[in-house]
A and B are shown apart, each in its own frame.
Chain A
Amino acid sequence: MTSSGPRTGTTLDAVAQAGRKAALIGYLPVGFPSVAGSIEAMVELVKSGVDIIEVGMPYSDPGMDGPVIQRAAEQGLAAGVRTSDIFSAVSAVAEAGGTAVVMSYWNIVLQYGVSAFARDLDSAGGGGIITPDLIPDEASEWVSASDEFDLDRIFLAAPSSTPERLATIVDASRGFVYAASTMGVTGVRSEVDNHARELVSRLKDAGAPHACVGLGVSTREQAAEVAEYADGVIVGSALVRALDSGGVSGIASLAAELAEGCA
């Protein structure tokens, strides 16, 4: 299979051209509650109006994740999820008409082989990788591999990032920059930090074509608030929780609500 799937920049531009305030980006870990179950849920997200699916890979040491995603990852690993399951999920999302990117801790990609991962991701129809523990300074191998397959390199920016670092991050990124709304790990929060608005504006000043905000968004109101200033609204833990408690129908109704917030 050699079909290149949509890249996030194209998807984000299309959302803006359609007159919507922001794209909705949803995270789910592959393998939770099972590989088939996670893929079904991801396809349902596409049907419910989620523009970009972050296909997460469960990892034994998720140092950037809060309790909800930690538990889902532990369950996925206990059920035997493998790195290659990522590509099945990515294919399914692409076939359903969604844009798929991978969210993974770096050792998973490294052990698969950076170049092989890029090749197989592109073949499966994936758009790129979000790398929460890989900074541009350490990414030379990934930069070459992603250039070869024209994949998106989605690095994170944080409220603590200096102007110099933001410039480096914007320069190294392709597709969008993931703006972490707060200093903390993933999880549902009652308020989205004010830092997010400022960070997006700093990223734009540094020349980022697209900046999407994640960490802490769980409700339609929060999504609407973030959609005012960001190109995309990223929701993770809230979707995982909805899938856990309400199954595929539960996640579909939350996604539809969030999509309204972004409209």
Chain B
Amino acid sequence: MTDLSQENGPYFGSYGGRFFPEALIPALDEIEETWRKSQVDPEFTQQLLDLQQNYIGRPSLLTEATRFAAHCGGARVFLKREDLNHTGSHKINNAVGQALLAKRMGKTRVIAETGAGQHGVAAATAAALLDMECEVYMGEEDTQRQALNVARMRLLGAKVNSVSNGTKTLKDAMNEAMRDWVANVENTHYIIGTVAGPHPFPAMVRSFQDIIGVEAREQIQNAVGRLPDAVCACVGGGSNAMGLFAAFLADPEVKIFGFEAGGDGVDSGRHAARFSGGRPGVLHGSATYILQNEDGQTQGSHSISAGLDYPSVGPEHSHLHDIQRVTYEPVVDEEAMEAMQLLSRSEGIIPAIESAHALAGAMRIGRELGSEAVLLVNLSGRGDKDMTTAAKWFNYFDEGAVQV
């Protein structure tokens, strides 16, 4: 098998590329050059390692979920605890890496798009740490359902812009961030939060996230003396998934599963399952699978999880889908919420609703593979931000209760 973990773009099979305005191509070239040089520059790698260990809190734990395993056909289930990172998700791995690159390029300002707000918080955090100005674009619908993260970003000193055009979600936040970037590229770096966008972002963001899989591969071998039978992650843009998958792509005995947001169900039309309901096209700078109508107009996605509510997906996932190295399946809102509650009550760990999609998928895969199987699941983030959504879903708020 070719070593898929070393694919560095600009293309992943027939996906990826730079379908982007000419005005920003020189910036993409500069980012790529700075990134490539940094990877072999001991000063940079040491600086990043220091922040990973002493700021982010790496390596993150690998926790065996023994009681949750009962819901997964009795398979052994190991959780890669990205929820324990500083700021509460895997997003900080990439935000810190790119913010360091921005500094190297002499930029004084960073911008970011965000869906659930986890990437926005991570970018705002990195900007505060490195003394940079930060502005975050977030869809109006998401600023409402993830209001806690809006407050966190503002506390960290970032400016948060609510985007009210289009579908008012992540894709429109990304459009608005692009408009900002082209006008301010001289002093501004755009920290794309996922393995999407034009080259070099998909490969670069993966390079900052692949530490997840590198650590997990070693940790699980230490725990069980072998590789897992299956690895599972949720896939919005797909950065936590690529970060975990990369370390296992070259191991044919490891099955790899990506779980997309099935929303109300793929047949309902209200979902974000690009591989079940989409087809290849071009959006936000790369060729990849997209939810779109016959004419190529992007269709609105739907998910109870803001972080998975995106009509496009990172191009490397499209390639891995087509060559059938990774299996992508939808998980509907209801399954994800059930998994969220089950993990909370069986392990005392409250997962983000995004990560709960991976947990629901693991329940499905565990039942298929049986009790001899070992599963590795990326717990990409913690669920504190989702308490309003969860409380409404499960009816946890006392009637008439108002937080004062």
Which residues 143-179 in B have Cβ within 8 Å of A in the complex? 165-166, 171-172, 174-175, 178-179
Bits for B288-304, please: 1 = Cβ < 8 Å to A, else 0.
00101011111000000
Query: Does B17 contact A138, Cβ atoms closer than 8 Å?
Result: yes
| A180 in contact with B22 given A63-B179, A107-B283, A185-B179 (CB within 8 Å) | yes
The A167-190 residues at the B interface (CB cut-off 8 A) are 169, 180, 183-185
Binds A, one of B23-31, B52-60, B257-265: B23-31
**Number of A interface residues, CB 8 Å?**
38
Given contacts A74-B165, A108-B296, contact A183 B22 (CB under 8 A): no
B21 at the interface (CB under 8 A from A): yes
User: Most B CB atoms within 10 A — which of A77, A82, A161, A185?
Assistant: A185
**A110-B26 contact, Cβ under 8 Å, with A63-B179, A156-B21, A158-B21:** no
Is there an interface contact between A106 and B19, defined as CB atoms closer than 8 Å? Answer: yes
A107 adjacent to B296 (CB under 8 Å): yes
Contacts A63-B284, A74-B166; A110 near B22 (Cβ below 8 A): no
With a CB–CB cut-off of 8 A, which chain B residues contact A83?
Answer: 295-296
Cβ-neighbour of B292 out of A106, A111, A160, A162 (below 8 A): A111
Set of chain B residues within 8 Å of A60, measured between Cβ atoms: 166, 297-298
Please encode chain B, from 7 to 27, with 1 for each CB lying within 8 Å of some chain A CB and 0 for all others.
Answer: 000000000011111111111
Contact flags A140-180 to B (C-beta < 8 A → 1, else 0) = 00000000000000011111111001000100000000001
CA of A137 to CA of B24, assembled, Å: 14
| Closest A residue by C-beta to B184 | A183
Chain B stretch 372-388: residues in CB contact (< 8 A) with chain A? none
Q: Among the listed A111, A112, A185, which residue makes an inter-chain contact with B182, where contact means beta carbons less than 8 Å apart?
A: A185
Q: Is the CB of A160 within 8 A of B295?
A: no
> Which residue of chain B is the closest to A155 with respect to CB atoms?
B22
User: Would A135 and B20 count as touching, CB distance under 8 A?
Assistant: yes
Known pairs A61-B175, A133-B285, A160-B24. 14 more at Cβ < 8 A? A63-B179, A63-B284, A74-B166, A77-B297, A107-B282, A108-B295, A156-B22, A160-B23, A160-B25, A160-B27, A161-B23, A180-B23, A183-B183, A185-B182
Binding site for A on B (CB under 8 A): 17-27, 165-166, 171-172, 174-175, 178-179, 182-183, 185-186, 281-285, 290, 292, 294-298
In order of increasing CB-CB distance, the 8 nearest A-B pairs are A111-B296, A158-B23, A184-B183, A60-B298, A107-B296, A63-B178, A60-B297, A107-B282
